[in-house]
Chains A and B, each alone.
Chain A
Amino acid sequence: MSRVNDVGGQSGFGPLEIEADEPPFHADWEARVYALNTALVRSGVYTLDEFRDAVERMAPAEYLAASYYERWLHAIETLVAERKVLGDG
C-alpha cells in the first residue's frame, strides 16, 4: 500500500538539517528504544518486516509529527500490544 513513509520523489520537505559531530543517540531513551527493538526482533517476538509495517501503519499526521525514535517506540508498543506478550491483551 502507498503509505506515508514512501516519500521518494515527493517535494515540500524543506532544506536538510545537518548537525555537525552528531552523537549516535540524542537521549538515553533513544538508545533504550534501539536496544528494545533489537532484543524483540532477535527474540522472535516480531520480525523486522512486521516492525517496519507497524511504523508505516501510523496515521500520516502522527508519523510526520513524530521524531524518528518516537516512531520506533510507537511501533514497538503497537506490536507488543497486538502480540499480547505482556499477557494483558
Chain B
Amino acid sequence: MSGEHASSTVAVRVRRLEERLIEAGVVGDDQLDAILTGVLNGASPVNGARIVARAWTDAGFRERLLADANAALPEVGLSMAGGIQEQRLKVVENTAEQHNVLVCTLCSCYPIGLLGPSPSWYKSEAYRSRVVRDPRSVLAEFGLTLGDGVRITVWDSSAESRYMVLPRRPDGTDDLGEEALARLVTREGLIGTAAV
C-alpha cells in the first residue's frame, strides 16, 4: 500500500516537472512521445537475437560484427543511433574456452537504443558490486555453471563503448533457420548471464 502511495506521489512529481518543462518550451510533448515510441517499439532484445542468429548462420557477417559492430549492424537493418547519443558497440564472442559477461559498476551503461532498457538486476548494487569480483557465484545465481577450464572476462563498461555478448550456438540446432535460431536467444544471453 505504502509502495503504491509512494509511486503515485512520484508520478505526480514527474507530471509536474514535465508540464513545467513543456510550458517553458524546453522540451516538446511530441518530442517526448517520439522518444518513448522509439525506445518501446524500436529497441528490444529481439534486435540482439536477430544479430546473433545472423552471426551464427553467416560467417562473413560474424567476422564483420566482431571487427566493427557499428558498421555491420545496417546489414540487418539496425543501428546504434536510437539511444540518447550514438555509441560504439563492441560485440564479444563466447567460445568453448571463453565466456564473457557485461556490467557497468559505476552506473548502468547498456546499449538501450538497440536492446531496450536493461533489466533491474543489471542496475542493482548487488550485481554491479559482485560480478567483477566473483563472477562464478553471480552466474550460478542465474543457474549458469561453467566448466573450470572456461576463462571468464567481465567487461566493465565505463566509457563510450556499449557491449553485447555473442553467445555460442547451441548444439543440435543445425536444422534451424535464422528466425528459429533468433527465438532461442534471451536478453540474459546477450549480457552473458545465460548460455544463450
CA of A16 to CA of B106, assembled, Å:
17
Any chain B CB within 8 A of the CB of A8? yes
Residues of B within 8 A of A28 (CB): 11
Q: 6 interchain pairs (CB within 8 A)? A: A10-B129, A13-B125, A13-B130, A36-B32, A76-B17, A86-B21
Chain A residue nearest in CB terms to B25: A85
Q: How far is the CB of B106 from chain A (nearest CB, A)?
A: 6
Contacts of A6 in B (CB 8 A): 105-106
Q: 4 tightest A-B contacts by CB?
A: A8-B105, A29-B11, A13-B126, A7-B129
Q: Kindly state whether residue B77 has any CB partner on chain A within 8 Å.
A: no
Give complex CA distance A52, B157 in Å.
14
Most buried by B among A5, A25, A39: A39
Centre residue among A19, A26, A38, A64 by max chain B CB count within 10 A: A38
0/1 string, A28-52, CB within 8 A of B gives 1: 1101111111111111010010001
Q: Choose the segment among B61-69, B93-101, B114-122 that binds chain A (4+ C-beta atoms closer than 8 Å).
A: B114-122
A residues in contact (CB < 8 Å) with B? 5-11, 13-19, 22, 24-29, 31-43, 45, 48, 52, 55, 64, 68, 70, 73, 76-77, 80, 85-87
Q: Are A32 and B24 in contact, CB atoms less than 8 angstroms apart? A: no
Selected from A33, A38, A80, the residue in CB contact (under 8 A) with B84 is A38
Residue on A nearest B187 in the bound complex, by CB = A22
Q: Check A86/B132 contact, CB under 8 A, given A17-B124, A36-B27, A55-B107.
A: no
B168 at the interface (CB under 8 A from A): no
A73 to B7, CA, bound (A): 13
Q: Are B126 and A35 in contact (CB under 8 A)?
A: no
